[in-house]
Amino acid sequence: MNRILLFVATNLAVLFILNVSLRVLGVDGMLETQGGGIDMTALLVISAVIGMGGSFISLAISKWMAKRSTGARVIDRPGNRTERWLLDTVARQARQAGIRMPEVAVYDAPEINAFATGMNRNNALVAVSTGLLANMSADEAEAVLGHEVSHVANGDMVTLTLIQGVVNTFVILLSRVVGHVVDRVVFRNARGYGPGYFIAVIVAQVVLSVLASIIVMWFSRRREYRADEGGAALAGRGKMIAALRRLRSNGGEEPELPNEMAAFGISGRTGGGGFAHLFRSHPPLDNRIAALEAAAP
């Protein structure tokens, strides 16, 4: 319930801030002087409903999508010692983190990876690859599970959804405003909307979406450092560092998770430097290892 209230409050806050900002900057008045001004209140509401609504729907079906896209098999009853160990370890870490026991699943993939998703911290899914179980020691796997449980406990799925919803709202709103200004001022179209409006909206939406992706990915990289610290607290700093080193030695920079799940894996896309780095969901493994080592007492 608290997460839903946070989501609603964020919607209202975005509407209020956008409305005030546009009035302070005089954008609404400028639009009206161009003839056929935009109904800013209606546009704000529509932008927030579309921007936030799409993100919220994605979050609501995230567990279902994760299971379907990866073929993850939820462990209802452990069939062997490994599955029993997985359930026991996640249960212990969930108690330490103060959350309800997530669903635990295994998906078939040769890469070493794991991910967590779900609508809230008490209704989540933690999944590990068969490659992780085959190539990591128990201590390393324990640290990876701690990392994923920390994502759940920190509410990272909800936080990233809220951020995505906010930037989506800005993209939708501002692209329409740009289209209106171009149509009225540049093409001097006084009635309806001409081709200039639609072209300007598309171009503005592409450019703003790129900027929005940079913002979302920055937050995503920050949360990975926090989850690493959480994994260190739950399993031990040495185990967490060892797990990241194992990922590095096995080429964990480029995971094979589906695109919609790549940001949620412990090993995410980080390759490339310079400008390309701004669009990566995970920091380089070397940076993550260095951060844990620097924080060691």
Instruction: Identify the three-state secondary structure at position 73.
Output: strand
Which tokens belong to 249? Answer: 């030695």
Q: Strand 103-107's sheet: what is its strand order?
A: 73-74, 103-107, 123-129, 114-120
Give yes or no for a contact between 152 and 118, defined as CB atoms under 8 angstroms apart: yes
Burial of 180 (0-12, 13-18, 19+ CB in 10 A): buried
For the chain, what's the residue count?
A: 297
Find residue 126's DSSP bridge partners: 104, 116
Which tokens belong to 272? Answer: 């490339």
Residue (of 45, 28, 14, 21) closest to 181 by Cα position:
28
CA–CA gap between residue 66 and residue 33 (Å, rounded): 49
What is the DSSP code string of 87-129? HHHHHHHHHHHT-PPPEEEEE--SS--EEEEEEETTEEEEEEE
Give yes or no for a contact between 104 and 49, defined as CB atoms under 8 angstroms apart: no
Look up 148 and say whether it is catalytic. Answer: yes
Give yes or no for a contact between 128 and 114, defined as CB atoms under 8 angstroms apart: yes
Backbone torsions φ then ψ of 258, nearest 5 degrees: -55, 155
Catalytic residue among 140, 142, 148, 224: 148
Helical packing angle, 2-24 and 40-60, nearest 10°: 150
What is the DSSP code string of 252-282? TTS--S-HHHHTTBSS------GGGGGG-SS
Which residue numbers are catalytic?
148
